[in-house]
Amino acid sequence: MNLINTVVALLLLLMLSGNLCAGPASARLSALASELISGYESKAGNAKSTVAVFPFNSEVKLEKQRIGFAVSELMAHRFVASGNFTVVERGEIARLLAEQRLQASGAVDSATAVKLGKLAGAGTLLLGNVLKVDGKYQVNARLVNAETAEVVASGYAELEVLAFEDDARVYLNLVPETQALGLYFLTNLRSNANDLPEQTYNTPFGTETISPKSFTLNMLGGGIRYSPSAKTLVDVAYMGNGSGAKNDNGLYGHLKVSSVRALLGYKVRSSGRLRYFVGGGGTSYSLDWTAKTTYYTPTVFFRLEFLPQSRIGLSVSAFYDFIAKTATQNIDWATPPVVARGAKLNKFSIEPTLSVYF
C-alpha cells in the first residue's frame, strides 16, 4: 500500500506542477512584442489604444496544430502588461470570428481582421504569419492601424520548434483530437487482503496448513489507446508477471498473474493540460498457482491524465472489477486429495501510465 501511495503522490505532484518561469520561446516572443510596442510608441507617443489580437496565419497543417493561435496568445501577454494597450478579450474575438464562420484558431486575412477589429472597438490590430523551416518557426508580426490599415510597426523572430512547442503546449493541438493513437507503459498496483480461510490437510509427510496472507501485486505491461472522436477512447492493454502470494510454510508460494483488458472511455472534461476520462469494458485474468484459474470480469475506470507535452501523457487510473475468483492448487498427495484456495485479487487497483501519442 505504501508503494501505491508513493507512486500516486509523485504523479499528482507532477500534474499539479507547472513551469515556474517563461521558456526561451516565450521570452523571444515577448521581446518581439516589445519591439512592436516600441515602434508604436515612437509614432503615437504614450497614446493609449485598444488592440485586437488575431491568430497568425500559417499553412493548413500548422493551423490544425494551432501554431499561429499559440504565437499570438504568447505575444498578447506582453501587450496586457503594457500600460498603453487594452487587449480585446479572446472570447469577443472568437465570437466575431464565429459570426463570420471562421475558426477561432484559424487564418484571418488583413481585410477581414480590419473589419472585425473595428467591430470590437479596437484601434490597433496585432497580425502576422508563421512558417516552419528547417526545425524553426519563422514569425513575422505587425501592428496595424484599424482605421487606415497602415502598418505601424513590424518585427521578425525565429523560434526553435521544440522550445516553442514546450512553452506553448497549453495552446497547441500537436496530436489531433480524432484518429489519435497512443502507446503506453503501465504498472498495475493492487493491495490484496486475501482473507481466505486457513486450510489443514494430511500428507504422507505429516499435517500441512495453508494460511493465505495479504500480498501486493505489481503487474507491468503496455497498451494502445485510439481516439475515434474527440470525446471517445478505445483502450486495449496486456499486463503480467506479478509478485507472489505466500502461505505460512512457503509451499506453493509463487502466483503468476496475467491479464488482458479492453475498454471504451469517454472524455468528460479537458482543462488545460489535464484530461478526465470515465468508461468501462472487460478484463480477463489468468492466475497460475500450480493450477490455472481463468475468469472474465466487467470493469469500470476513472482516469486523470496530465500532458506535460502534447505528445506525452502521465496518467493515474482507478479500476474496479465486478468479479474476483480465487486461485487454487491441486494437492494430490493429501489424504484425501484437496483443492487448496490460496490467493484472491482485490477488485480495486491503481494504475500509473506513461503514454506517447501520435
The β-bridge relationship of strands 136-145 and 124-133 is antiparallel
Given a cut of 50, whether residue 43 has pLDDT beyond it is: yes
- For the chain, give every domain's residue range: 20-167, 175-357
Does domain 20-167 correspond to CATH entry 3.40.50.10610?
yes
- Can you tell me the distance from the alpha carbon of 149 to that of 48, in angstroms, rounded to the nearest whole number? 18
As a whole number, mean pLDDT of residues 124-151 equals: 93
Q: 132 or 205, which is more confident?
A: 132
Give, in order, the Cα–Cα distances in Å from 137 to each of 23, 56, 176, 293.
Answer: 15, 12, 20, 57
Question: Which of 154-158, 202-206, 339-343, 345-349 bottoms out in mean pLDDT, i.e. has the lowest?
Answer: 339-343
SS (H, E, C) 13-70: HHHHCCCCCCCHHHHHHHHHHHHHHHHHHHHHCCCCEEEEECCCECCHHHHHCCHHHH
> Which CATH number is 175-357's, of 1.10.357.10, 3.40.50.280, 3.50.50.60, 2.40.160.20?
2.40.160.20
Q: 246 or 269, which is more confident?
A: 269
Under DSSP, the state recorded for 147 is T
Under DSSP, the state recorded for 324 is -
Mean pLDDT of the chain: 85
Given a cut of 90, whether residue 253 has pLDDT beyond it is: no
- Write out pLDDT tens, residues 90-128: 888 888 888 877 655 556 778 888 888 888 899 999 999
Confidence of residue 74 (pLDDT cuts 50, 70, 90): very high
Given a cut of 70, whether residue 231 has pLDDT beyond it is: yes
Work out the burial of residue 195: count CB atoms within 10 Å of its CB; fewer than 13 is exposed, 13-18 middle, 19 or more buried: exposed
Fold match flag (20-167 vs 175-357): no
Question: Would you say 122 and 51 are in contact if contact means Cβ atoms under 8 Å apart?
Answer: yes
Reading the block at residue 345, the C-alpha cell is 485479487
Q: 265 or 214, which is more confident?
A: 265
Question: Would you say 67 and 139 are in contact if contact means Cβ atoms under 8 Å apart?
Answer: no
- Write out pLDDT tens, residues 156-170: 999 998 889 888 877
Confidence of residue 35 (pLDDT cuts 50, 70, 90): very high
